[in-house]
Amino acid sequence: MLNALSPTSVVASRAFFPPLLAAGFLLLLVVLASLLYGAGPVSASDAIAALMANGTEEAWFVVTELRLPRTIIALVTGLALGLAGALLQSMTRNPLAEPGLLGVSAGSGFAVALAILLGATTATLTTLVAQLGALAGCALVIAATRVQGLGNDPVRLVLAGATLTGLLLALTSMLMLIDQRAADEIRFWITGSVAGKPLSILWATLPSITLALVLMATVARPLAAMALGEKAAVGLGHHPGRIRFLITLTVALLVGSATALAGPLIFVGLVVPFIARAFSGPDIRKTLWLCVPVGPAVVLGADVVSRLIAAPAEMPLGVVTALIGAPVLLAIVRAGRMPSL
Give me the residues that bind another protein (CB under 8 A), please: 96, 101, 144, 147-150, 154-156, 158-160, 162-164, 166-167, 169-171, 173-174, 177-178, 266-267, 310, 313, 315-316, 318-319, 322-323, 325-327, 329-330, 332-334, 336
Minimum CB–partner distance for residue 339 and another protein (Å): 13
Burial class from Cβ neighbours inside 10 Å (0-12, 13-18, 19+) for residue 308 reads middle
Angle at 313 between CA 59 and CA 307, to 5 degrees: 60
Nearest CB to another protein, comparing residues 278 and 331: 331
Minimum CB–partner distance for residue 241 and another protein (Å): 19
HSE-CB of 315 using CA atoms within 13 angstroms: 15
Minimum CB–partner distance for residue 177 and another protein (Å): 6
Nearest CB to another protein, comparing residues 238 and 307: 307
Nearest CB to another protein, comparing residues 149 and 237: 149
Smallest CA-to-CA distance from 181 within 105, 261, 113 is with 113
Nearest CB to another protein, comparing residues 2 and 330: 330
Angle at 248 between CA 243 and CA 250, to 5 degrees: 95
Residue 256 makes CB contacts below 8 A (sequence gap 6+) with 108, 127, 130, 131, 132, 133, 134, 135, 208
Minimum CB–partner distance for residue 319 and another protein (Å): 4
**Rounded-to-integer distance, Cα 69 and Cα 66, Å:** 6
Nearest CB to another protein, comparing residues 181 and 334: 334
Nearest CB to another protein, comparing residues 72 and 305: 305
Minimum CB–partner distance for residue 175 and another protein (Å): 10
Minimum CB–partner distance for residue 19 and another protein (Å): 26
Smallest CA-to-CA distance from 157 within 170, 169, 168, 141 is with 141
Minimum CB–partner distance for residue 271 and another protein (Å): 12
The reply to whether omega before 312 is within 30° of 0 (cis) is yes
Nearest CB to another protein, comparing residues 120 and 319: 319
The H-assigned helical ranges of 263-316 are: 268-280, 284-308
